[in-house]
Chains A and B, each alone.
Chain A
Amino acid sequence: MSQVFTIAGAELRLMLRSRLAIVGVATLLLLSAIAAVTSATQMAAAAKMRAEAQIATDQQFKSQPDRHPHRMVHYGTYALRPVGPLAAFDPGVDAFTGTVVFLEGHRQNSATFGAARESSDLVRFGQLTPAFVLQTLAPLLLVFLGFASVARERERGSLRALAAHGATAWAILSGKALALCAAAALAMAPAFAALGWAAIQQPAEAGIALLTALSYSGYLLIWVLVITAVSALAASAQGALVTLIAIWAVVVVLVPRAAAAWAGVAEPLPSRVDTEFAIAADLRRIGDSHNPNDPHFAEFKAKLLQKYGVGKVEDLPFNYRGVLAQEGERLTSQLFKDYAARAGAIQLAQSDRLTALGLISPALAVRRASMVGAATDLRTHLAFLETAEAYRYNMVQKLNALQATAVSGADDSARSKDPIAERRTRISADFWKEVPDFRFDAPTASRRAAGMIPSLAVLALWIALALALMMIASRRLERNGA
């Protein structure tokens, strides 16, 4: 074991005396620190802004004057997705999915205000976050630091000298890998400090922060092992560099993008325009509640009159318009829900395909683990949309119910012609205060931890494979006289 530490120490000394290595590590350290600070600042600002905006929008709704309830249905309110507990570390899909939904009657609006839509194209390339630095840039730095670790010794003949001094091939490879691990740990320090800070701020997140740190440590360990093994197996340092750059490009750049494209082809998601046309067509099929001759609503009206034993809607013990609005909302909401469920199922199927592809790219596995831990994954976003839709439906139906019970049918019919009747249709502003505030709770830490397990298992599998590659390299080194 002491041989391993001795060899690791010498390798670290080489890095410390290499201007290239120092510049590389310092650059990554700087990027990592900048990413941690800027991301934490941005997400803290976003969290504050969204929390304040949610309070403000709830307040605005509640502070509306006496009004006709249906005007409140159209006045609507906003649901803002709260910032995930570890979103500063990994904003995940936050930038792409939108964060604000306008909630109103008759319509289910899409989420808006995604950073990628609002900002320059650079956001699409990848935000400078601790997660991006660790997933994409850190492996590249490790490649540059470690590609020659063993190949250089072979080219210079010092590998044989080491072996002649009793160093086993496994000790040489382990020492080189250990030194690279130390460099990786240094480069990861600011990002891990950001995780630690998040855990201190929210102690309930400590377990998730630890699992996230474990995921990234495992991910970078895979890189360290592969880099060391390739350096030992390659015929030359140059060959090792070319091979490792190719592996990086495939694993980190190509596979995630190709996988996303493949998931999109395998599980095609209809475009928003197509969906909106389809919803509009279905809405027309359901019928028009404002059209007295619409077959569905004519039947609905007939059943209602029959149930209450009256001949016309004016004789019903409630405001028919309110009940009609409730029925219309019920039907359209069911339609929206069905479409949303279908789109969500497709998106989740795409996401599941990406998870399965984690088997061929550990970058996909660590990305998923990171987003699930930070509650910034697609599943959490879909849960937010579902919560927002449920809130919208309940709010609208509550207002429709108020129209049915607190507004007289006669006044409601006459309000467009009779200002006095119109004034009577305005109900007390106190009713708005009964509408609960919007609230979305991210999945609990234990649920997120459970969600991270498949990705952690994939990473563990990759570590085992990388160790096997190290063993093959060690045997080959031993067989070829180091």
Chain B
Amino acid sequence: MTHPVLSIDQLVVERGGRRIVDGLSLTLEAGEIYALLGGNGAGKSTTLFAILGFLERSGGTLTVGGQDPAGQLDAVRAQIAYLPENVALYDHLTARENVDYLLKVADCPRSRADVEAAFGSVGLAANAWDMRAGRFSKGMRQKTAIALAMLRDTPLLLLDEPTSGLDPAAAADFHKLLETLAARGVAVLMVTHDLLGAADTADRIGLIAGGRIASEWFAQPGEPRFDLNALHSGFARVR
């Protein structure tokens, strides 16, 4: 029996005695890009933290590849690549050293050629490979982190506000990278405020309100993929 990459049912997460996520349900299959939209404090990042096992849930079920972070945290984390809003690279290490280090921590070392191929495929300029990350722009950091995610070859990629602070061209490049990953079968769950970016890239868009998915839209064949008016009004309602 094959499991969905991510399966969430009636998830409840509390922080400081407050229910932040309250009955959220979501299933994600391989190669699917899901954009989770919502206002500040709606529970988007909290949902990601619950998936990663950073926060304990107080209700519902949650599995990644059929495994529950509550009991199989290491196995769950081994299936996830996570990009926080501010990609946390080590400034004293070069892009190559950052990637090598985190791959070693994750116990999946890769050859030098593999790393360079990943850098090449995310469009990180060759002169940046051995440059210390302290000198990187946000876009370069994102690219390094995506290269790392590709090298880890995990079935699930979690992104927290990945395009905030990126210029439009860099954001467009980033969305192309996501499509490349999805084409390889990686399931992507992206938390974002960027409605237009989500509409460009996602297969599904969920609007989170009151700690649960209040509305959901599916991409349609052809252009535009989503009814932007419906998205705008839905988003405006919950903000």
Contacts and interface: CB of A to CB of B under 8 A. Distances in A.
Given A164-B77, A166-B77, A7 B88 contact: no
Q: Tell me the dominant secondary structure on chain A's binding face.
A: helix
B93 A10 contact: yes
A481 B93 contact: no
Nearest to A158: B88
B78 A160 contact: no
Contacts of A165: 77, 102, 105-106, 152
Contact of B52 (A2, A7, A156, A481): A481
Nearest to A175: B105
A6 interface: yes
Given A157-B84, A481-B49, A481-B54, A7 B105 contact: yes
Contacts of A157: 84, 86, 88
A137 interface: no
B107 A161 contact: no
B80 A164 contact: yes
A3 B93 contact: no
Interface in A310-351: none
B104 A6 contact: yes
B86 A6 contact: no
A382 interface: no
A245 interface: no
A167 B77 CA distance: 9
A480 B49 CA distance: 10
A14 B90 contact: yes
B107 A3 contact: yes
Contact of A6 (B54, B80, B92, B101): B101
Interface residues of B, number: 26
Nearest to A7: B105
Interface residues of A, number: 24
Contacts of A230: none
Interface string A409-452: 00000000000000000000000000000000000000000000
Interface string B73-85: 0100110111010
Interface in B33-47: none
Contacts of A17: 92
B128 interface: no
Nearest to B86: A157
Nearest to A2: B107
A167 to B, nearest CB: 5
B65 to A, nearest CB: 15
B205 to A, nearest CB: 24
Going nearest first, the 6 A-B pairs with the smallest beta carbon separation are: A481-B54, A158-B88, A157-B88, A164-B82, A165-B106, A161-B88
24 contacts: A2-B104, A3-B105, A3-B107, A6-B104, A7-B105, A13-B93, A13-B97, A158-B88, A158-B90, A160-B88, A161-B102, A163-B54, A163-B77, A164-B80, A164-B82, A165-B152, A166-B74, A166-B78, A166-B106, A480-B54, A481-B49, A481-B52, A481-B54, A481-B55
Interface of A: 2-3, 6-7, 10, 13-14, 17-18, 156-158, 160-168, 480-482
